Amino acid sequence: MALLAPDLGDAKQGKAHRDKQLIYLKDHLEKYYHSRDRKWIVLFPEGGFLRKRRETSQLFAKKRSLPHLTHVTLPRIGATHVILKTLSAQQENGSVGSETGTPNQTGNKRKGLQWVIDVTIAYPKARPMDIQTWIFGYRPPTVTHVHYRMYPIKEVPVEAEALTDWLYQRFVEKEELLTHFYSTGSFPSEEGHKEAASRQMILDPVRLCIIQSFAFASGYMWYSVLWYLYCCLF
């Protein structure tokens, strides 16, 4: 979500535009998240491609005396702040709780967000797979490494200043994780373990082909229906 903090925006996005997008996000969450019984939400706080945002992020960090990051960029805060304020109940200590004040159809309070799962992705030689690679297949199969940590929602601050510090610290940790990975070929192990625990997940190409074929067929079907209705009406 490239929606976030006013101080760290792409050149194409002004403050007024970003503020408007945050209002749209808040309205959308209030209208659809609970009514459609959503359980989770995915957020990309960096808000853009690393190769495009790295220089801007580093200049911003230098100006504000923040850590110099190479493998990640400083996160934007706006959307994270809106999501936590909207989907979690605020406590007196400035943290968030696990229940929102919005009742469901039975009159009971809905459960808000329960966890924040912090995911860090590492690619061999720091070269991520892109759309062109997926389509044309000019790179051999590669192993993508995923590191994750789980934080109870009550441990996450909701006020803007505290949340900014908390989120910046997470990305400093990501920088350290990725620096270790690109130096050693693996993420650092947790305290008390000799090596990082991991499990292998293999994508089935046949299953992926079936899913993509269904997506294309579904799209073509809707196109045909809409085109038929258009021809009938006009």
pLDDT higher than threshold 50 for residue 6? no
Q: C-alpha distances in angstroms, 47 versus 21, 52, 208?
A: 13, 10, 27
DSSP secondary structure letter of residue 12:
T
- Residue 109 in contact with residue 99, Cβ under 8 Å? yes
| Beta bridge mates, 145 | 122
Domain check: are 144 and 106 in the same one?
yes
pLDDT digits (tens, 9 = 90+) for 71-114: 999 998 999 999 999 998 644 444 455 555 555 544 455 678 89
**Domain span at 188:** 15-201
**186 is a domain residue:** yes
Q: What angle do CA 184, 186, 189 make, to 5 degrees?
A: 110
- pLDDT tens by residue, 173-188: 999 999 999 999 889 8
State the total domains in the chain.
Answer: 2
Residues 108 and 215 in one domain: no
Q: Which of 102-106, 169-173, 211-215 has the highest mean pLDDT?
A: 169-173
Asked whether residue 165 falls in the same domain as residue 89, the answer is yes
Domain presence at residue 10: no
Question: What's the pLDDT score for residue 131?
Answer: 75
Residue 9 lies in a domain: no
Prediction pTM value: 0.72
pLDDT higher than 60, residue 9: no
Are 139 and 30 in a shared domain?
A: yes
Mean pLDDT of the chain: 82
Reply yes or no on whether the pLDDT at 18 is more than 70: yes
Q: What is the pLDDT of residues 130-167, one digit of tens each?
A: 777 777 777 787 788 999 999 999 999 999 999 999 99
- Considering the domain architecture, whether residues 162 and 226 belong to the same structural domain is answered as no
Of 175 and 124, more confident: 175
**How distant, in Å, are the alpha carbons of 33, 187, 220, 222, 224 from that of 233?**
35, 60, 20, 16, 14
Residue 107 burial (10 A CB sphere; 0-12, 13-18, 19+):
exposed
Q: What is the pLDDT of residue 7?
A: 43
Is the pLDDT confidence value at 33 over 50?
Answer: yes
* Long-range CB contact pairs, 35-44, < 8 A, 24+: 41/83, 41/87, 41/113, 43/1, 43/79, 43/80, 43/83, 44/1
